C-alpha cells in the first residue's frame, strides 16, 4: 500500500572500518523493527502489517543501515469501516525517524530529558500541549501522545538507542531520510530514552477504620507486619512513625491477642506482574491490650 525509507547511522571511532559488533547492531535493529510494528498497531488499529527490510549503506567513518518499510492492509473490511490508514512515511515521521510531521517521538523524548510530565492538554485541533514538571511546554501532534504513553513503544525505543550507545566507541546515532536529517542522539543523551517504570493501574484506593490483630512484627526496611482481620491474614506497611518510634523506645509493648484499631489503606492495582492488593496502616488509633473481663453494671454512688 505504501512504503518509506530511512537510514540509521551509528558513528564513533569504533566504526572507522565500517564494522560493528553484532551484539550491539542486532538488538538495535530488532528494536527498531518492534518500534515500527507496535506504532503501526497503535495508530492503525492493527488494520495493517508492516515489514522492515535492510537494504545496505555504508558512510565514511560510520556504519549505516538503510531500512525499507513496506505496509500491507491485512483487514480490508475493518479498514473500509475506519478512518484512513496512516501511511508508512507518516508513521516514520511520527516516530521521529524521518523529518515528516514536525517533531516526532524521538525528538520529543529527547526534549523531555527524563523530566516528568505534569499535564497533557488536548487542543482540539489535532495537537496536544505537553507541560513538564518545571513548567516547560511543547505543542505536538496528538498521535505522538499515544506513542509516548505506550510502554512497549518506549521499551523498544530504549533498546534501539541505549544498547548501541552503551558500546565503547559508538558516540552517536542518526536517523535520516532522503529529505534530510531527522534526529541525532549522542552518548550523553542515551539515558533520556530509558523506558519509564510501569507502576500499574490503580483499580481501588480506599481507607477505613478497622481492628487488626498483629501476628508478626518487623522493623526491617518497609516495616511490613503480618495482621489478621478475623477473616484473613495479610501484610501491611506501617506508616505511623510515631507508633513505630514508641515501640522502638520501649514505650509500647505487645502481648499475645492484643488488637490495634487502625486507619487502614487498601490499594488494588494491575501491573505487568498481574493483579495485586497492598495494605498500609496510616495511623494506629488505639492499642487494645489483651485480657478478658466480664462487664457488670456498677453503682459508683454518685447517682
Which residue stretches of the chain have pLDDT < 70? 1-2, 55-62, 71-85, 99-102, 179-182, 198-200, 219-222, 271-273, 291-303
Is the separation of the CB atoms in 34 and 210 below 8 Å? no
Residue 233: what are its φ and ψ, rounded to 5°? -110, 150
Using a CB cutoff of 8 Å and minimum separation of 24, what contacts does 203-206 make?
203/268, 203/269, 203/270, 203/275, 204/266, 204/267, 204/268, 205/265, 205/266, 205/267, 205/268, 206/265, 206/266
H/E run at residue 70: strand 62-73
* Number of separate domains in the chain: 2
pLDDT value for 213? 92
CATH of the domain at 213: 2.40.50
Neighbours of 58 (CB within 10 A): 12
pLDDT value for 296? 52
CA distances from 234 to 264, 271, 281 (A): 12, 20, 12
For residue 242, what are the domain limits?
A: 201-288
Whole-model pTM: value is 0.60
**Cβ burial, residue 170 (10 Å; 0-12/13-18/19+):** buried
216 shares its domain with 241: yes
21 shares its domain with 143: yes
23 shares its domain with 170: yes
168 shares its domain with 70: yes
164 shares its domain with 214: no
pLDDT value for 123? 92
Q: In whole angstroms, what is the distance from residue 292 CA to residue 294 CA?
A: 7
For 230, half-sphere exposure in the C-beta direction (CA atoms, 13 angstrom radius) is: 7
pLDDT value for 262? 95
Question: Nearest 5°: CA angle at 61, between 59 and 62?
Answer: 60
Handedness of CA 138, 139, 144, 148 (dihedral sign): positive
pLDDT value for 250? 81
298 is a domain residue = no
104 shares its domain with 177: yes
302 is a domain residue = no
Q: In whole angstroms, what is the distance from residue 56 CA to residue 114 CA?
A: 34
pLDDT value for 128? 92
pLDDT value for 82? 43
Contacts with 171 (C-beta within 8 Å, 6 or more apart), sequence order: 11, 12, 13, 165, 186, 187
Place of cell 549505516: 64
303 is a domain residue = no
35 is a domain residue = yes
pLDDT value for 180? 66
89 is a domain residue = yes
Residue 81: what are its φ and ψ, rounded to 5°? -95, 10
Torsion angle of C-alpha atoms 102, 106, 107, 111, degrees rounded to 10: 140
pLDDT value for 298? 54
Amino acid at each position: 500500500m505504501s512504503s518509506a525509507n530511512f537510514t540509521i547511522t551509528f558513528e564513533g571511532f569504533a566504526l572507522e572500518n565500517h564494522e560493528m559488533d553484532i551484539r550491539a547492531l542486532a538488538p538495535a535493529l530488532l528494536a527498531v523493527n518492534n518500534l515500527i510494528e507496535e506504532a503501526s498497531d497503535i495508530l492503525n488499529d492493527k488494520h495493517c502489517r508492516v515489514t522492515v527490510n535492510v537494504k545496505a549503506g555504508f558512510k565514511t567513518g560510520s556504519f549505516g543501515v538503510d531500512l525499507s518499510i513496506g505496509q500491507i492492509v491485512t483487514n480490508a473490511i475493518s479498514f473500509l469501516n475506519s478512518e484512513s490508514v496512516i501511511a508508512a512515511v507518516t508513521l516514520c515521521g511520527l516516530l521521529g525517524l524521518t523529518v515528516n510531521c514536525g517533531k516526532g517521538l524521538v525528538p520529543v523524548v529527547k526534549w523531555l530529558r527524563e523530566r516528568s510530565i505534569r499535564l497533557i492538554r488536548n487542543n482540539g485541533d489535532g495537537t496536544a500541549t505537553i507541560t513538564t514538571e518545571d513548567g516547560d511546554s511543547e505543542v505536538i501532534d496528538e498521535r505522538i501522545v499515544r506513542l509516548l504513553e505506550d510502554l512497549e513503544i518506549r521499551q523498544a525505543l530504549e533498546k534501539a538507542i541505549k544498547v548501541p550507545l552503551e558500546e565503547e566507541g559508538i558516540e552517536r546515532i542518526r536517523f535520516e531520510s532522503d529529505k534530510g536529517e531527522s534526529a541525532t542522539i549522542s552518548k550523553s543523551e542515551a539515558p533520556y530514552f530509558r523506558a519509564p517504570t510501569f507502576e500499574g493501574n490503580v483499580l481501588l484506593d480506599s481507607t477505613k477504620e478497622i481492628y487488626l490483630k498483629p501476628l508478626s512484627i518487623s522493623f526491617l526496611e518497609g516495616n511490613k507486619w503480618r495482621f489478621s482481620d478475623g477473616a484473613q491474614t495479610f501484610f501491611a506497611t506501617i506508616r505511623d512513625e510515631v507508633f513505630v518510634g514508641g515501640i522502638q523506645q520501649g514505650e509500647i509493648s505487645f502481648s499475645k491477642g492484643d488488637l490495634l484499631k487502625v486507619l487502614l489503606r487498601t490499594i488494588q492495582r494491575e501491573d505487568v506482574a498481574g493483579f495485586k492488593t497492598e495494605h498500609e496502616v496510616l495511623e494506629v488509633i488505639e492499642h487494645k491490650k489483651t485480657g478478658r473481663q466480664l462487664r457488670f453494671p456498677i453503682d459508683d454512688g454518685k447517682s
